[in-house]
């Protein structure tokens, strides 16, 4: 990899694409040249980067000539088609979609957990699902000390997880609701303002789990390299613009206390403890938004487990940053 690589952003005009550029600028990523790529309808737009307006180019099969590094966030269909072409042209791809995550030959990486897997890449490195990243960054340090046997997770996922159009719909629907006007949603399957609903990923008819939930389950096993870890998860879409929140109960193989967890997490990379019982102040999406760390609080014994092996937590993280763009840029830095 060149010291100052040519970097392409695929999906440059989307919510995550914009954050790719913002993360690289804030972290002084050594970009020699930036190549924003998007669909034909975005040609004529520009991307702000280091004080300049960089023209957005149409994504084509020849877009990757001279590109050293390509950050993808344009959906699995686009990634399946264009990521191999980027690799063939000589680029290393960090892909934010679900296209390659469960491919056994492609590393699925959270740098705080399994950065060493990056060395095994054959041109493509996969970025995990945002709900997976939010949970696993604080769970991994615990798992290293006292192996986790079982996880029960409930997610409260923001509009940002469904892209810029969903964020805009939430704002528009809220304004309409407050004004007493009718509003017909176009992005989400159900009314979004002052409502919440089961995550809008498709339901698997046999298991009853939706696609978001099965991603969290499968990705946790792959990243932790622990096929025996049991994971139960319910994913819910809530009327929050950005930053996901998750309620997690973990059961370890050995007894574990609140003090154990606080000590472990106080030194954990990418984690910030927000746990003020006196003020009833714990992780919230409003505080996690535009922050790099995963916030962790409500650290307490799970009283439903009399054996003392279980702990309950509340976590929150910016879906567009650590849940997507930041994690990808951290991978790129290591590449």
For β-strands 52-55 and 310-317, DSSP reports them as unpaired
Backbone φ and ψ for 125, nearest 5 degrees, come out as -125, 130
| Marked catalytic residue, from 121, 143, 199, 244 | 244
For residue 10, give every residue at least 6 positions away whose Cβ sits within 8 Å of its Cβ, in sequence order, or none: 17, 37, 38, 59, 70, 71, 72, 73, 74, 78, 79, 82
Is-catalytic flag, 235? no
Query: Which SS3 state, helix, strand or coil, does residue 30 take?
Result: coil
Q: Within the chain, where are the H helices?
A: 15-26, 76-88, 111-114, 130-145, 164-178, 211-224, 258-266, 285-288, 326-334
Judged against a pLDDT cut of 90, whether residue 324 lies above it is answered with: yes
DSSP reduced 3-state for 85: helix
Mean pLDDT of the chain: 96
Residue 300's pLDDT is 98
Q: What is the pLDDT confidence band of residue 1, given thresholds at 50, 70 and 90? A: confident
Residue 69: the pLDDT is: 98
pLDDT at 3 over 90: no
CA 115/CA 162 separation, integer angstroms: 27
pLDDT at site 56: 96
Average pLDDT (67-74) is 97
For domain 132-318, the CATH architecture is 2-Layer Sandwich (3.30)
Superfamily of 6-127+324-334 according to CATH: NAD(P)-binding Rossmann-like Domain (3.40.50.720)
Question: Residue 51's closest CA among 73, 72, 74, 31?
Answer: 31
58 neighbors 38 (Cβ within 8 angstroms): yes
Active site residue 244: yes
The residue from 23, 130, 235, 252 that is catalytic is 130
pLDDT of residue 209: 94
**pLDDT tens digits for 114-152?**
999 999 999 999 999 999 999 999 999 999 999 999 999
Characterize the bridge pairing of strands 57-58 and 69-72.
unpaired
Q: What pTM was computed for the model? A: 0.94
CATH 3.30.360.10 residue ranges of the chain are 132-318
CATH 3.40.50.720 domain extents, the chain: 6-127+324-334
Q: Which two tokens stand for residue 288?
A: 């996690």
Residues forming a β-bridge with 125: 94
């Amino acid at each position: 990899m060149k010291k100052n690589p040519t970097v392409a952003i695929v999906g440059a005009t989307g919510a995550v694409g914009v954050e790719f550029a913002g993360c690289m600028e804030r972290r002084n990523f050594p970009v020699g040249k930036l190549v924003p790529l998007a669909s034909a309808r975005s040609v004529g737009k520009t991307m702000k980067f280091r004080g300049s307006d960089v023209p957005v180019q149409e994504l084509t099969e020849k877009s990757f000539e001279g590109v050293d590094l390509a950050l993808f966030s344009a959906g699995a269909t686009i990634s399946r088609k264009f990521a191999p072409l980027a690799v063939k042209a000589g680029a290393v791809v960090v892909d934010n979609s679900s296209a390659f995550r469960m491919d056994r030959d492609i590393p699925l990486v959270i740098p705080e957990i399994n950065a060493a897997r990056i060395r095994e890449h054959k041109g493509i490195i996969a970025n995990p699902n945002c709900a997976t990243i939010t949970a696993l960054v604080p769970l991994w340090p615990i798992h290293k000390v006292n192996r986790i046997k079982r996880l029960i997770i409930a997610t409260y996922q923001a509009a940002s997880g469904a892209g810029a159009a969903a964020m805009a719909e939430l704002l528009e629907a809220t304004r309409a609701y407050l004004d007493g006007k009718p509003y017909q949603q176009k992005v989400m399957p159900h009314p979004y303002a002052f409502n919440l609903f089961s995550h809008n990923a498709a339901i698997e008819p046999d298991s009853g789990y939706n696609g978001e939930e099965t991603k969290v389950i499968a990705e946790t096993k792959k990243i932790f390299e622990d096929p025996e870890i049991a994971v139960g998860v319910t994913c819910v879409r809530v009327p929050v613009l950005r930053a996901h929140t998750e309620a997690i109960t973990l059961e370890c193989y050995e007894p574990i206390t609140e003090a154990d967890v606080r000590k472990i997490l106080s030194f954990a990379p990418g984690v910030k403890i927000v746990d003020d019982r006196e003020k009833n102040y714990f992780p919230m999406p409003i505080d996690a938004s535009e922050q790099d760390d995963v916030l962790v609080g409500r650290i307490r014994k799970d009283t439903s487990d009399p054996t003392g092996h279980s702990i309950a937590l509340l976590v929150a993280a910016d879906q567009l940053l650590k849940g997507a763009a930041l994690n990808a840029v951290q991978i790129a830095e290591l590449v």
